[in-house]
């Protein structure tokens, strides 16, 4: 079952979509030795505080379904300035998510709670990395905040460069 939550002031100009992939709804109880005790709800509260501080709008959604994530990426084209995504297990398997990100041409930051490059070999391959503007991995829940900041900075820099 998918969950959605709107985070931040409605009058914001910069809009960032944060997508959480499969099993991230279990954060706080799932493999605590790897993912810690912080819940997705707590991460979203931290994102809300950051969004308020940065004067941006952040909308957060979680789904265990690959097709739903693809649809949300496609729908983001006219609604969001950037995407922050933790594709979770789909990182290593989903060409469909990779292709959706490439198709919408929205700056995308890939986020992982753990350092996927220091884990099992099959987790070290990311299909998303090749179409993302950057990847943040290994910083736990703070990775989402770093991802939002990086996405906002990237968009602001691009807007600034375009207006010159």
Which residues carry out catalysis? 35, 112
Q: 7: burial class by Cβ within 10 Å (0-12, 13-18, 19+)?
A: buried
Cross-strand bridge partners of residue 7: 58
DSSP code of 6?
E
| CB neighbour class for 46 (10 Å; exposed up to 12, middle 13-18, buried from 19) | middle
- For the four alpha carbons of 154, 156, 159 and 162, in that order, the dihedral sign comes to negative
């Amino acid at each position: 079952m998918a969950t959605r939550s709107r985070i931040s002031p409605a009058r914001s100009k910069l809009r960032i979509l944060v997508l959480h992939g499969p099993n991230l709804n279990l954060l706080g109880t799932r493999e605590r030795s790897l993912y810690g005790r912080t819940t997705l709800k707590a991460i979203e509260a931290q994102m809300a505080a950051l969004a308020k501080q940065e004067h941006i709008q952040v909308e957060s959604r979680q789904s265990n379904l690959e097709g739903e994530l693809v649809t949300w990426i496609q729908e983001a084209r006219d609604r969001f300035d950037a995407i922050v995504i933790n594709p979770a297990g789909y990182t290593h398997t989903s060409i469909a998510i990779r292709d959706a990100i490439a198709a919408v041409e929205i700056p995308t930051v890939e986020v992982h709670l753990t350092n996927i490059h220091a884990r099992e070999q099959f987790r070290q391959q990311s299909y998303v990395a090749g179409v993302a503007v950057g990847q943040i991995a290994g910083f736990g829940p703070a990775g989402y905040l770093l991802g939002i900041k990086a996405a906002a900075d990237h968009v602001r820099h691009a807007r600034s460069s375009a207006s010159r």
